[in-house]
Amino acid sequence: MRIVVLFSIFICAAVSLRAEISVEIDLEQQTAYLLKNGRPVLASPVSSGRDGHLTKTGSFKILEKERTHYSSVYGKIVDARGNTIVADADADMAVPRGGKFIPAPMHYFMRFHGADGMHAGYLPGYAASHGCVRMPQEYAIAFFNSVSPGTPVTVFGRTPASRYWSQSGPRFPRGRNRFADPRVAPRFDPRFAPPPPMWWR
């Protein structure tokens, strides 16, 4: 009996010490937050789904993680010499003789709804993806290493209508941002610049 009680206490202590990780994605602010025990510890600029391919809002969970992932639907088409002839291609588009379809890289992929997930990718400064949530690679790695299958993901807000939302103010505005807390500010640099453009846009 004493062994059972001690074992139960050990399990309860282990559970209480384990940090509860979750992710919140604010489409309006184009920002993803990594939370531990409900408190944001990292914020990343993102590029979510564009008009016609909007990222779905709601409560989800991480379904799977894949370090080296490629899209099965989107990519580019190159000719026989390797020159890009269609930069934003679908896999079912016609490919010229000698050319080929090259799937888009989506490294550090964290699927949370259907084909949508968070991953490293190009950030033009506005919502531009086909539904996924792109992040600078450094942030994608940090999120990837922190989450696991089952981690809660909440997506909320309305995607800005303007392509150039980032030019109208700071990347992490303090107005309606519910995580604009001085205790959080030192944990990330709001001046973080996106990585240089990659072919996949």
Q: How does pLDDT run along the chain (201 residues), one tens digit per residue?
A: 555 444 444 444 444 346 799 999 999 999 999 999 999 999 999 999 988 889 999 999 999 999 887 776 676 678 888 888 776 666 677 888 888 877 777 789 999 998 899 999 889 899 988 889 999 999 999 999 999 999 999 999 999 875 544 444 444 444 444 444 333 333 443 333 344 333 333
- Which phi-psi region, left, alpha or beta, contains residue 133 (left: φ > 0; alpha: ψ -120 to 50)? beta
Whats the size of the chain, residue-wise?
201
The DSSP element (H or E) to which 134 belongs, if any, is strand 133-135
Nearest Cα to Cα of residue 29 among 190, 166, 192, 183: 166
Which positions ≥6 away from 38 have C-beta within 8 Å? 20, 22
